[in-house]
Amino acid sequence: MSTSPYPLGLRLDGRRVVVVGGGAVATRRVPALLDAGADVLLVAPELTPALRARVDAGRLHWVPRRFAPEDLDGAWLVHVAIDDPIAAASVSAVAAERRIFCVRADDRTAATAWTPAVTRHGPVTVAVFGGGDPRRAMTVRDAIRDLLAVRLVPGGIAGRPDASTGTTGGRVALVGAGPGDPELITVKGWRLLTEADVVVADRLVPGLLLDELRPDVELVDASKIPYGPSRAQEEINQILVDRALAGAFVVRLKGGDPYVFGRGGEELLACAAAGVPVTVVPGVTSSIAAPAAAGIPVTHRGVAHEFTVVSGHLAPDSPASLVRWDALAGLRGTLVILMGLKNLAAITATLIAHGRSPQTPAAVVQEATTGTQRVLRSTLGEVAADVLTADLRPPAVVVLGDVVDALDG
Ligand SMILES: C[S@@+](CC[C@H](N)C(=O)[O-])C[C@H]1O[C@@H](n2cnc3c(N)ncnc32)[C@H](O)[C@@H]1O
| 318, part of any domain | yes
Q: Are residues 96 and 126 in the same domain?
A: no
Domain boundary residue, one of 281, 311, 330: 281
Domain boundary residue, one of 281, 304, 332: 281
Q: Are residues 24 and 98 in the same domain?
A: yes
CA-to-CA distance for 344 and 367, rounded, in angstroms?
17
Q: What is the CATH number of the domain that holds 349?
A: 3.30.950.10
| 157, part of any domain | no
Contacts of 341 by beta carbon, 8 Å cutoff, 6+ apart: 312, 364, 387, 392, 393, 394, 396, 398
Q: Are residues 87 and 183 in the same domain?
A: no
* 288 ligand 1 Cβ < 6 A: no
- Give Cα separations from 93 to 99, 104, 122 (angstroms): 10, 12, 37
Q: Are residues 139 and 241 in the same domain?
A: no
Q: What is the CATH number of the domain that holds 261?
A: 3.40.1010.10
> Measuring CA to CA, which residue among 354, 376, 305 is closest to residue 334?
305
Nearest CA to ligand 1 atom 21: 396
* 286 ligand 1 Cβ < 6 A: yes
Active site amino acids: 202, 224
Q: What are phi and psi of 254, to 5 degrees?
A: -125, 145
Q: Are residues 215 and 313 in the same domain?
A: no
Q: Are residues 59 and 90 in the same domain?
A: yes
Q: Are residues 211 and 179 in the same domain?
A: yes
- Give Cα separations from 403 to 39, 94, 107, 133, 295 (angstroms): 45, 58, 51, 49, 10
| 195, part of any domain | yes
| 7, part of any domain | no
* 365 ligand 1 Cβ < 6 A: yes
Could you read off the pLDDT of 189-228 as tens digits, one per residue? Answer: 999 998 999 999 988 888 788 877 888 899 898 876 766 6
Cα 300 to ligand 1 centre (Å)? 22
Cα 142 to ligand 1 centre (Å)? 34
Q: Name residue 291's beta-bridge partners.
A: none
Do 373 and 332 contact (CB within 8 A), yes or no?
Answer: no
pLDDT per position in the chain (409 positions), as tens?
A: 677 899 999 999 999 999 999 998 898 889 889 989 999 999 999 998 889 988 998 989 999 999 999 999 999 999 999 999 999 999 999 999 999 999 998 998 999 999 999 888 778 899 999 887 888 998 999 898 888 766 543 344 333 444 444 445 799 999 999 999 999 999 999 999 989 999 999 888 887 888 778 888 998 988 767 666 667 889 999 999 999 999 999 999 999 999 999 999 999 999 999 999 999 999 999 999 999 999 999 999 999 999 999 999 999 999 999 999 999 999 999 999 999 999 999 999 999 999 999 999 999 999 999 989 999 999 999 999 999 999 999 999 999 999 999 999 7
**Which ranges of 151-228 would DSSP assign to H, the alpha helix?**
187-195, 207-211
Cα 269 to ligand 1 centre (Å)? 22
Q: Are residues 300 and 374 in the same domain?
A: yes
Q: Are residues 233 and 297 in the same domain?
A: no
* 312 ligand 1 Cβ < 6 A: no
Nearest CA to ligand 1 atom 7: 256
Domains contained in the chain, number? 4
| 2, part of any domain | no
* 369 ligand 1 Cβ < 6 A: yes
Q: What is the CATH number of the domain that holds 104?
A: 3.40.50.720
The residue to mutate among 397, 398, 399, 400, having the most atoms of ligand 1 within 8 angstroms of its beta carbon, is: 397
Cα 206 to ligand 1 centre (Å)? 12
Domain boundary residue, one of 281, 302, 336: 281
| 6, part of any domain | no
State the burial class of residue 157 (Cβ atoms within 10 Å of its Cβ: 0-12, 13-18, 19+): middle
Q: Are residues 219 and 233 in the same domain?
A: yes
The range of the structural domain enclosing residue 130 comes to 119-150
| 156, part of any domain | no
Q: Are residues 312 and 388 in the same domain?
A: yes
| 160, part of any domain | no
Q: Are residues 41 and 85 in the same domain?
A: yes
